[in-house]
Amino acid sequence: MSGREIIWTPSPERAEASSMAAYMRWLETERGLSFAGYPELWEWSVSDLDAFWRSIWDYFSIGPAGDVGEVLAERRMPGAVWFPGVTLNFTEVVLRNGLKTPDKPALIIQSETFGRSEITWGELGTQVAAAARNLQQMGVERGDRVVAILPNTETAIIACLATASLGAIWSICAPDMGDVAIIDRFRQIAPKVLIAQDGYVHAGKTIDKRDTLHSIADSLPSLEHLVIVPVIGGLPPQAIEWSSLTTKNAALKPLAVPFDTPLWVVYSSGTTGNPKPIVHGHGGILLESAKQSLHQDLTASDCFCWLTSSGWIMWNSQFTALARGATVAMFDGAPHMPDTLARGRAAAGERLTYLGAGAAFFAACLKAGIRPGDTLDLTSLRSLGSTGSPLSDDAYRWIYDAVKSDLWLAPISGGTDL
């Protein structure tokens, strides 16, 4: 920007080794397209939509090789039609790269409620297959809605992937939301199954959500099954325990669905009337997240963490890293417990390569005066992501001074339009 200080520029070596640079080299080799730099690449991407999105499809091998036919069949808004005739499944594509390395960690979970655990790619695939089979036996079919009130742990990831594998539609709210806020969201989409955790630990306090769950379940007349992750007490009458859904052996058989089939429902904030449901489709999310991974410089060698509630759209962004075959480190709890340096210690201990958070988190670190790079080994950390409100210049300077690493900083949109 004119008149503003340039705080950081990637080294030529880092820029050349980036995912974006690799994609640009592929465009030159495979498409005969050469660009002087990113601005020229961006201009092409928004002026030749067919060629650009076809390149993303091919570069990331989203679906079967070969001609996929028309990319953008109807150029109108609303009502644009993308990739007509193409079928695919979100779950199959997300798991594909990771399942090539079944013994590698897919998820690392640090939870105030459950402690620390790991799940390999092989275990993730097995549990998704079992959960999908059990949901199917409950009568869940393509187009049905499965909703959840779960924290940012493996249960939510497994349940989402299992739901999507059946062509059913997923939606999630965070456990710290009130019953009215959740009912206002879920009642609009008439769910068949609700998966919920009956309580959790946050900032050292145990929160009992059983009464809230009872109120929510009673307010959803379409509900046929209640699945509970018990933390506080026993199961309510007729409820099913979550662990029973993930223990049976089953083959993973994702249903191929048309490109624009609804995948999940996210919501506006609800500040003006009821929260507005926003529907994203299987194909659109796969292509958009593949594109986003170029900006985030994500590869299968990364260990990715975004500090997010399950009620924020950044929860969904964790699938971007999973689709690349990366390990995702999930965090469920108060981010500044027991102190402001806690997430820095976790980043060092888990050898994170990518750490993302809302701008408010970085501002709080700046205000607290912590300097993680002075006392922690953060040499594995290659990238930071920020979203929500814009980062201040002081926060940018803090990142590069206090973290002490050659970081790729990728601010991205924090809105509901992923």
pLDDT for res 159: 98
DSSP string, 28-47: IIII----SSHHHHHHHHHH
Q: Would you write out the chain's pLDDT as a tens digit for each of its 418 residues?
A: 445 677 777 888 989 999 999 999 999 999 999 999 999 999 999 999 999 999 999 999 998 767 788 999 999 988 999 999 999 999 999 999 999 999 999 999 999 999 999 999 999 999 999 999 999 999 999 999 999 999 999 999 999 999 999 999 999 999 999 999 999 999 999 999 999 999 999 999 999 999 999 999 999 999 999 999 999 998 999 999 999 999 989 999 999 999 999 999 999 887 788 899 999 999 999 999 999 999 999 999 999 999 999 999 999 999 999 999 999 999 999 998 899 999 999 999 999 999 999 888 988 999 999 889 889 999 999 988 888 778 888 887 788 777 766 666 665 543 333 3
Q: Are 21 and 10 in contact (CB under 8 A)?
A: no
Please give the structure tokens belonging to residue 240. Answer: 């099913």
Distance CA 353, CA 323 (A): 16
pLDDT for res 113: 97
Distance CA 97, CA 91 (A): 11
Query: Closest by alpha carbon to 106, among 163, 161, 60, 146?
Result: 161
Distance CA 140, CA 402 (A): 50
pLDDT for res 274: 87
Q: How many CB atoms lie within 10 A of CB 232?
A: 14
Distance CA 118, CA 154 (A): 9
User: Can you tell me which residue has the tokens 């002075």?
Assistant: 374
pLDDT for res 232: 97
Distance CA 293, CA 320 (A): 7
Q: Residue 57, SS3?
A: helix
Provide long-range contacts, Cβ within 8 A and 24+ apart, for 338-347.
340/364, 340/365, 340/368, 340/370, 341/370, 341/372, 341/375, 341/376, 343/307, 344/370, 344/372, 344/376, 344/378, 345/376, 346/110, 346/305, 347/305, 347/372, 347/376, 347/378, 347/381
Query: Closest by alpha carbon to 132, among 102, 92, 182?
Result: 92
Query: Closest by alpha carbon to 185, among 198, 176, 172, 175?
Result: 172
pLDDT for res 391: 80
Q: Residue 15, SS3?
A: helix
Distance CA 23, CA 60 (A): 10
DSSP string, 330-362: EEES-TTSS-TTHHHHHHHHTT-SEEEEEHHHH
Q: What's the pTM value of the predicted model, to 2 decimals?
A: 0.95
Q: How many CA atoms lie within 13 A of 300 on its CB side?
A: 13
Cross-sheet strand order for the sheet of 277-281: 240-241, 225-229, 193-197, 145-149, 169-173, 262-267, 277-281
Distance CA 98, CA 105 (A): 9
Q: Maximum CA pair distance of the chain? A: 65
As beta bridge partners, residue 105 has 120
pLDDT for res 11: 84
pLDDT for res 409: 65
Q: Are 119 and 105 in contact (CB under 8 A)?
A: yes
Please give the structure tokens belonging to residue 51. Answer: 């060629």
Distance CA 238, CA 18 (A): 52
pLDDT for res 64: 74
Q: How many CB atoms lie within 10 A of CB 7?
A: 12
Q: Rounded to 5 degrees, what are φ and ψ at 324?
A: -85, -5
Provide long-range contacts, Cβ within 8 A and 24+ apart, for 247-251.
247/130, 248/130, 248/133, 248/134, 249/126, 249/130, 250/129, 250/130, 250/132, 250/133, 251/129
